[in-house]
Chains A and B, each alone.
Chain A
Amino acid sequence: MVENKTVRLDRVIVRFAGDSGDGMQLTGDRFTWESAANGNDLSTLPDFPAEIRAPQGTLPGVSAFQIHFAAHDIFTPGDSPDVLVAMNPAALMASLPLLKPGAEIIVNTDEFTKRNLTKIGLTASPLDDGTLANFSVHPVGLTSLTVEALAGFDLGKKDAERAKNMFALGLLSWLYHRDLAATENFLGEKFARKPEILKANIAALHAGYNYGDTTEDFVVRYEVAPAPMPTGTYRNISGNLALSYGLITAARQAGIPLFLGSYPITPASDILHELSRHKNFNVTTFQAEDEIAGIGAALGAAYGGALGVTTTSGPGLALKSETIGLAVALEVPLLVVDVQRGGPSTGLPTKTEQADLLQALYGRNGESPVAVIAPKSPADCFDAAIEAARIAITYRTPVLLLSDGYLANGQEPWRIPDLDTVPAIDPAFADGPNGEDGEFLPFLRDPHTLARPWAIPGTPGLAHRIGGIEKADRTGNISYDPDNHDTMVRLRQAKIDGIDVPDLEVDDPTGDAELLVIGWGSTFGPITAGVRRVRKEGKKVAQAHLRHLSPMPRNTGEVLRSYRKVLVPEMNLGQLALLLRGRYLVDAVGFNQVRGLPFNAPQMQDVINEMLEEVR
C-alpha cells in the first residue's frame, strides 16, 4: 500500500461525463451530497441531452454533471474543471475543451475500442496520440474492474457493468476523503426491493474506494475544508425542490389548500412530481390534458378559494396566455411558474435561458399587467415562491414566477428556515356585503391595495357573476362604456404598479463606483462571482439584482441614474436592458449570451473589465 500525501485545496471543480445511460446525473448528485455533508459550499450544473437515450457513445449522447465545491462561499458551478471523470471517448472529447491545463482526467479505458472511436470520427485513440499531453491522466479500466469486483454476484454482465458509476464515485470519494455511509443509505432506499443489485452497487462503491487506496497511480489525495457559513441546519436543495416546498409552505401560511394544475414539460415537471407526493399537506395535483387545461383548472381552484398554481416552461406559457388574461380580468390570485428553457418553439428543452421575460410581462392581448418575480439561486426559489403567493393573494392577481433550467436542476446548500419566521398570508375571504345599501359589489376595491374581494362560491349572500368581458367598476356587471373601460384598464395597471416591493439594494462597498452591473434571475451567481474577481483586482464596481420585474422597485430609476455606466448581463438578447432603457432613459448596455449555459465567473470578470476601460 502506498502512503498518499494529502493536499489541502481551497476549491475544486469536478465534471462527471458519460453516456446518457451511464448514471452520471446520479453519480454527480451523490458526490454533491457528500460534498455538502463535508460542509463545503457548492454549486452544481447538470448538463444533459433532451433525448432519454441518445445513440450510445456519440457526442450528442454525452450527459455531464459539474460540481464546484469550496472552503468558502461560491456562486457558480465553476468555469474550467480541475478534474474530469470520462466514461467513454465521446465524454472525454466533449469535455476536453472545458478543462484547465494540467487538469486530472480519470478515464475509463475499457470504452476506448475502435468501434467507439469511430463513432466520434477518430482513427487513433486520444489516450495514445498525445492529445492528453497537457493533462494528468489516470487510465482506469472502470468497466472491467467493476465486473471483476462483482464476479461473485448473481448478476448478468450488463447489470454488473451498470455499477461502474458507483466504482467511479467510490474512487472520487477516496480521492477527496469522503465518507461512504450516506451513499450506502441512499442506495439502500433506492434498491430496497432489489437486494442483489443493492449489494452489487455497494460492493462497486467500495471497490472504487479501495482501488484508490491500493493503486499507485494516485499519489495525492485532496481535502477541501468546510466553508464558514452562518449557524443553522443545512441541506442540499435544487431549485425545483425549493420551489415545491415554497408553494407548500405558502399555502400553509395562508391556511388554504394548494392546487397544482399542470402538464408535463421539461424542465418544470419535477415540481409536479414533487407536489404529487405531498397530498398530506392538503395538496391536490392535477395532470391535465394540456397546458391550457392545467392553468384553467388552477384558475377554477383559485376561484373556489385554493392557492391555484400552474407550472410550465416557455412553450406552455405561450399556451396559457389567454387564461392568464382571464385571471387578470377576473382579478383572482393565480401563480404561474415558468421554468425557462432555450427557445423559441421547442428550442433547447434541457438547457437554460432567460428569454421569456418579455413574454411574461407582455405576452397577452390588451393591457394585461401581472406581477413578475424571479428567484436568483436554487435555494432562493423557496422564498420567491412564498413571495409570489403573498402578492397573488394580497392583490388578487396572477403572478408569474420566472425560474430557469439552471436554477431548476442546480443544487446548493440551503439553510433551512425557521418556520416561525415565515409571515402568515391572510386570504381575507369576503364574508358579507360591502355596499352601502347592503349589496355585494365584487369589484369594490380596497383603497390601499386596490384589490377586490375574494368572494368564493358557497359564501352566503355573495353570489355574483363575473367574466372576461369588461366589467363595470364596483358592480362587476358587463359594461361596454368607454369611460368605464378606460377606468378599469388604468385601475388594473395601478394595482400592479402599487404592489409593495422592497427597494433595490445596491452593493457598492466604496460608494463611488462608476459602473453598475445589474441582472435578474439566475445570473446572480456568475455576476456576483465576476464582480468579486474584479474587486480583488482593486477596481470599483457596483452590483444590483432585480427580484421584482413587475413592478420594479420604486428606486430603480434613481439607482440606475446614479452610475455613469450600467451593464446588464442576460441569457437573452437584451430584454431587461430594453425595459431599463425604455422606462428609465438610461444608456444600459447589454451583455448577452444564449448558449443554453449559465455565464461563468471569468467571462463576467472580462466583460466588467472591458466596461471599466470605457469608463476610464
Chain B
Amino acid sequence: MTEIPLKAKDFKSDQEVRWCPGCGDYAILAAVQSFLPELGRTPDDIVFVSGIGCSSRFPYYLSTYGLHSIHGRAPAIATGLSVTRPDLDVWVVTGDGDALSIGGNHLIHALRRNVDMTILLFNNRIYGLTKGQYSPTSEPGKITKSTPAGSVDRPFNPVSLALGAEATFVARTIDSDRGHLIDVLRAAAEHEGTALVEIYQNCNIFNDGAFDLVKNPQSRDEALIRLVAGEPITFGDRRVVRDADGHLQVADAGEPVVHDPTDLELAFALSRLSGSELDHTPIGIFRQVSEPTYDAGVQQQVDDSATEADLRALLTGPDPWAVS
C-alpha cells in the first residue's frame, strides 16, 4: 500500500480561527500548515505547546496534539515533554510578551541547554490580547495605553538575546514573506537542538505597520538584508563590510562580508546592525551549528547507568537487619 502524502488541509483542525481579521498570525498559520506535510510525520507525532497571548492560540488551529498552557511557561513544559518523549516532534509557539517578558527565564535556559524543540516567536512588538500595552520589544518612546507619555524601556533584540544564550539555531523571518518563512521553518525543523525563529508579525489592531519599513516595496530594498550561508551579504545597492577595526558596517562599496552561520561573533554583529528602528534588518539564519542536544545527553546517562534495576536490593540498602 502506498501512503498518500499528507496535505496542508490534513493539518487543519475543525476549530474556527479567532484572530482579528487581517492579523499576521493567519499568514503564519497558513505557512506552517502548508509546511508540516514536509516533515513526513502524521499529526499524531507532532506536539505544539504554547503559552498565553494571541500567538499562543495557534495549537487550537492545527490537527496535531496541542497544549495551550500558561503565560511564559511553554519552553519549560516542552522541555519535560521533549526529554521524556524523544520520539515526538515538539514545537513551541510564543510571542514577544510571552517569551521575552514573563517567560524570559525559561526561554534563555531552554536555549542554553539546547533542548530538542523548535520555538516560533511571533514578534509584533505589542501586547495584543490585553489590548495594546507596550512589550519588551516595543521601540523606545512607544505611546501605548500603559505609556501615554511614551515608553522609557529599552527593548530586547530577540536575536541578540538568543545568540547571547548561545542558541544553536537562530533565525528571523517575516509573516508576509511566505517563501522565506517556509525556508526558515524547514531549516529550523531539521535542526537538532533548540531552534529559535523570530517572526516579525503585524498586529493590525494595536501596532499596525510596525514592520512596514522592511515590508513595503518602496523601502524594503534599502532596509532588508537577506542572509544566505556562503553568500556575500549585500542588499539593494549596498553591502555589509568590515571597517578597519573589523567591526561590521553598511557601506556602498568595499569587499562584502560572506555569511557564515557557524560564526557566533559574526552572527551577533549582524544582529546588532539594526536596533528597533529596523533600518538595516537582517533576516534568515543567523546561526546554525551542530551541538549535542540536552535530550541526547540525558538519554545517554540513562543508557550508561548499567547497574541492574534491582528494586528489592535498593530498598534493602547496605545495612539491613532481620527480626525473627
Q: A259-B80, A282-B309 are in contact. Are A293 and B109 (CB under 8 A)?
A: yes
Which residues of the partner chain A approach B64 to less than 8 Å between Cβ atoms?
463
Which residues of the partner chain A approach B83 to less than 8 Å between Cβ atoms?
259, 284, 286, 297, 301
Which residues of the partner chain A approach B49 to less than 8 Å between Cβ atoms?
300
In the complex, B307 has a CB within 8 A of chain A:
yes
Which residues of chain A in 152-179 are interfacial with respect to chain B, using CB atoms and an 8 Å cutoff? Answer: none
- B84 contact from A257, A279, A330, Cβ within 8 A: A257
Tell me if B68 and A468 are in contact (CB < 8 A).
Answer: yes
A-B contact count (CB 8 A): 199
Q: A289-B106, A419-B312, A465-B68 are in contact. Are A234 and B84 (CB under 8 A)?
A: no
Tell me if A322 and B70 are in contact (CB < 8 A).
Answer: yes
In the complex, A477 has a CB within 8 A of chain B:
yes
In the complex, A232 has a CB within 8 A of chain B:
yes
Which residues of chain A in 280-325 are interfacial with respect to chain B, using CB atoms and an 8 Å cutoff? Answer: 280-282, 284, 286, 288-290, 292-293, 296-306, 308, 322-323, 325
In the complex, B19 has a CB within 8 A of chain A:
no
Could you tell me the distance between the alpha carbons of A302 and B81 in the complex, rounded to whole angstroms? 8
CB distance from A325 to the nearest CB of B (A): 8
Interface of A is mostly: mixed
Which residues of the partner chain A approach B207 to less than 8 Å between Cβ atoms?
none
Could you tell me the distance between the alpha carbons of A239 and B84 in the complex, rounded to whole angstroms? 27
Q: Which stretch from A452-460, A495-503, A534-542, A588-596 is at the chain B interface?
A: A452-460
In the complex, B60 has a CB within 8 A of chain A:
yes
Tell me if A37 and B321 are in contact (CB < 8 A).
Answer: yes
Q: Which stretch from A245-253, A427-435, A512-520 is at the chain B interface?
A: A245-253
Tell me if B81 and A300 are in contact (CB < 8 A).
Answer: yes
- B320 contact from A284, A330, A416, A468, Cβ within 8 A: A416
In the complex, A55 has a CB within 8 A of chain B:
no
In the complex, A395 has a CB within 8 A of chain B:
no
Which residues of the partner chain B approach A308 to less than 8 Å between Cβ atoms?
80
- B302 contact from A261, A284, A289, Cβ within 8 A: A284
Tell me if A292 and B76 are in contact (CB < 8 A).
Answer: yes
The 10 closest A-B pairs by CB, nearest first: A467-B68, A300-B80, A297-B80, A296-B76, A465-B66, A300-B81, A293-B76, A300-B77, A301-B80, A289-B109
- A457 contact from B88, B106, B314, B319, Cβ within 8 A: B88
Could you tell me the distance between the alpha carbons of A284 and B317 in the complex, rounded to whole angstroms? 21
Tell me if B68 and A245 are in contact (CB < 8 A).
Answer: no
Which residues of the partner chain A approach B79 to less than 8 Å between Cβ atoms?
286, 293, 296-297, 300
Tell me if A279 and B317 are in contact (CB < 8 A).
Answer: no
CB distance from B171 to the nearest CB of A (A): 24
Tell me if A245 and B315 are in contact (CB < 8 A).
Answer: yes
Measured CB to CB, the residues of B under 8 A from A are 13, 15, 42-47, 49-50, 52, 59-60, 62-70, 73, 76-85, 87-88, 105-106, 109, 298, 301-302, 305-309, 311-312, 314-324
Tell me if B13 and A465 are in contact (CB < 8 A).
Answer: yes
5 A–B contacts from the bound complex (CB under 8 Å):
A36-B321, A252-B311, A280-B305, A286-B298, A301-B83
Which residues of the partner chain B approach A114 to less than 8 Å between Cβ atoms?
none
| Extra contacts besides A234-B321, A289-B76, A465-B62 (11): CB < 8 Å | A234-B322, A235-B315, A235-B320, A279-B305, A296-B76, A297-B80, A300-B84, A301-B84, A458-B87, A463-B63, A465-B15
CB distance from B310 to the nearest CB of A (A): 9
Which residues of the partner chain B approach A478 to less than 8 Å between Cβ atoms?
15, 60
CB distance from A420 to the nearest CB of B (A): 10
Map CB proximity to B onto A223-250 as digits: 1 under 8 Å, 0 otherwise.
0001001111111100000000100110
Tell me if A234 and B106 are in contact (CB < 8 A).
Answer: no
Could you tell me the distance between the alpha carbons of A249 and B311 in the complex, rounded to whole angstroms? 8
Tell me if B314 and A278 are in contact (CB < 8 A).
Answer: yes
Could you tell me the distance between the alpha carbons of A464 and B321 in the complex, rounded to whole angstroms? 52
For this complex, into which size category does the number of interface residues on chain A fall?
35 or more
Tell me if A39 and B44 are in contact (CB < 8 A).
Answer: no
Tell me if B44 and A461 are in contact (CB < 8 A).
Answer: yes
Could you tell me the distance between the alpha carbons of A39 and B324 in the complex, rounded to whole angstroms? 11
Tell me if B69 and A468 are in contact (CB < 8 A).
Answer: yes
Tell me if A467 and B67 are in contact (CB < 8 A).
Answer: yes
Give the most central of B68, B88, B307, B316: most A CB within 10 Å. Answer: B68
- A290 contact from B47, B105, B323, Cβ within 8 A: B105
- B316 contact from A233, A252, A261, A286, Cβ within 8 A: A233
- A299 contact from B68, B80, B323, Cβ within 8 A: B80
Tell me if B320 and A233 are in contact (CB < 8 A).
Answer: yes
Tell me if A234 and B105 are in contact (CB < 8 A).
Answer: no
Could you tell me the distance between the alpha carbons of A467 and B322 in the complex, rounded to whole angstroms? 52
In the complex, A9 has a CB within 8 A of chain B:
no
Tell me if B105 and A289 are in contact (CB < 8 A).
Answer: yes
Which residues of the partner chain B approach A466 to less than 8 Å between Cβ atoms?
66-68
Interface of B is mostly: mixed
Tell me if B69 and A326 are in contact (CB < 8 A).
Answer: yes
CB distance from B78 to the nearest CB of A (A): 6
In the complex, A16 has a CB within 8 A of chain B:
no
Tell me if B317 and A235 are in contact (CB < 8 A).
Answer: yes
In the complex, A59 has a CB within 8 A of chain B:
no
Which residues of the partner chain B approach A326 to less than 8 Å between Cβ atoms?
69-70
Could you tell me the distance between the alpha carbons of A229 and B15 in the complex, rounded to whole angstroms? 63
Tell me if B80 and A261 are in contact (CB < 8 A).
Answer: yes
Tell me if B323 and A458 are in contact (CB < 8 A).
Answer: no
Tell me if B81 and A304 are in contact (CB < 8 A).
Answer: yes
Residue on A nearest B63 in the bound complex, by CB: A463
Which residues of the partner chain B approach A469 to less than 8 Å between Cβ atoms?
68
Could you tell me the distance between the alpha carbons of A464 and B14 in the complex, rounded to whole angstroms? 11
- A458 contact from B44, B50, B68, Cβ within 8 A: B44
- B70 contact from A248, A282, A417, A468, Cβ within 8 A: A468
In the complex, A607 has a CB within 8 A of chain B:
no
CB distance from B217 to the nearest CB of A (A): 38
Which residues of the partner chain A approach B105 to less than 8 Å between Cβ atoms?
289-290, 293
Could you tell me the distance between the alpha carbons of A459 and B42 in the complex, rounded to whole angstroms? 10
CB distance from A255 to the nearest CB of B (A): 13
Which residues of the partner chain B approach A299 to less than 8 Å between Cβ atoms?
69, 77, 80
Tell me if A458 and B15 are in contact (CB < 8 A).
Answer: no
Tell me if A417 and B315 are in contact (CB < 8 A).
Answer: yes
Which residues of the partner chain B approach A458 to less than 8 Å between Cβ atoms?
44-45, 65, 85, 87-88
Tell me if A296 and B84 are in contact (CB < 8 A).
Answer: no
Map CB proximity to B onto A541-568 as digits: 1 under 8 Å, 0 otherwise.
0000000000000000000000000000
Which residues of the partner chain A approach B322 to less than 8 Å between Cβ atoms?
232-234
CB distance from B302 to the nearest CB of A (A): 5
Which residues of the partner chain A approach B66 to less than 8 Å between Cβ atoms?
463-467
Tell me if B323 and A39 are in contact (CB < 8 A).
Answer: yes
CB distance from A258 to the nearest CB of B (A): 10
Which residues of the partner chain A approach B60 to less than 8 Å between Cβ atoms?
465, 467, 478
In the complex, A219 has a CB within 8 A of chain B:
no
Give the most central of B81, B83, B85, B88: most A CB within 10 Å. Answer: B81
Which residues of the partner chain A approach B47 to less than 8 Å between Cβ atoms?
457
In the complex, A182 has a CB within 8 A of chain B:
yes
Residue on B nearest A297 in the bound complex, by CB: B80
Tell me if A236 and B319 are in contact (CB < 8 A).
Answer: yes
Which residues of the partner chain B approach A182 to less than 8 Å between Cβ atoms?
319
Residue on A nearest B299 in the bound complex, by CB: A284
Could you tell me the distance between the alpha carbons of A304 and B49 in the complex, rounded to whole angstroms? 12
Tell me if A463 and B65 are in contact (CB < 8 A).
Answer: yes
Which residues of the partner chain A approach B109 to less than 8 Å between Cβ atoms?
288-289, 293
Tell me if B44 and A463 are in contact (CB < 8 A).
Answer: yes
Which residues of the partner chain A approach B308 to less than 8 Å between Cβ atoms?
280
- B314 contact from A231, A245, A290, Cβ within 8 A: A245
CB distance from A260 to the nearest CB of B (A): 10
In the complex, A265 has a CB within 8 A of chain B:
no
Could you tell me the distance between the alpha carbons of A416 and B68 in the complex, rounded to whole angstroms? 43
Q: A281-B311, A458-B85, A458-B88 are in contact. Are A296 and B73 (CB under 8 A)?
A: yes
